[in-house]
Amino acid sequence: MAQEILIVDDDPDLVEVVRLTLEAEGYLVSAAYNGQEAKERLAVKKPDLILLDVMMATYTEGFDLAYELLDNPETKHIPIIMLTAMSQSANYVETFQYISERPWPVSVFLEKPIPPKKLVETIRKVLPETSRS
């Protein structure tokens, strides 16, 4: 059975490029364009992995969602790869200080733009071997 990945990002163009890349590798892909939509999708079905943008409606929406998922027994086991352009943001230092009060809620950070090969390699490293088909 193919592994399922949920992409959470407010950039429809990025979502589509990532979707095509991952589907070509045999993954099932769904998308949410903000944190609330992601929570609604997760209430219905749990993916094997989440690709999560840092900045959506707010500078920390991705981290806020990641912490919610980490605190929820039904979702805390789902690995999260955080997609970020934060280092290009003027508010990076303030955002970093905000999120560093707790342990990082994600498995890996990848900086946008993400080369497709690097994205796929990272996903393969993060997803448990036993769940691959």
If you search the block for the tokens 């592994």, which residue do you land on?
3
Counted domains in the chain: 1
Contacts of 5 (CB under 8 A, 6+ apart): 22, 27, 28, 29, 30, 47, 48, 49, 50, 51, 123
Residues 30 and 20: their CA atoms lie apart, in Å, by 11
- 3-state SS class at 55: coil
pTM for the predicted model, two decimal places: 0.84
Residues 127 and 131: their CA atoms lie apart, in Å, by 7
133 assigned to some structural domain: no
92 assigned to some structural domain: yes
CATH, residue 27? 3.40.50.2300
Quick one: tokens of 37? 């939509």
Give per-residue pLDDT as tens, 55-91.
Answer: 888 877 888 899 999 999 999 999 999 888 765 444 5
46 assigned to some structural domain: yes
Give per-residue pLDDT as tens, 10-37.
Answer: 999 999 999 999 999 999 999 999 999 9
Domain span holding position 88: 4-127
132 assigned to some structural domain: no
119 assigned to some structural domain: yes
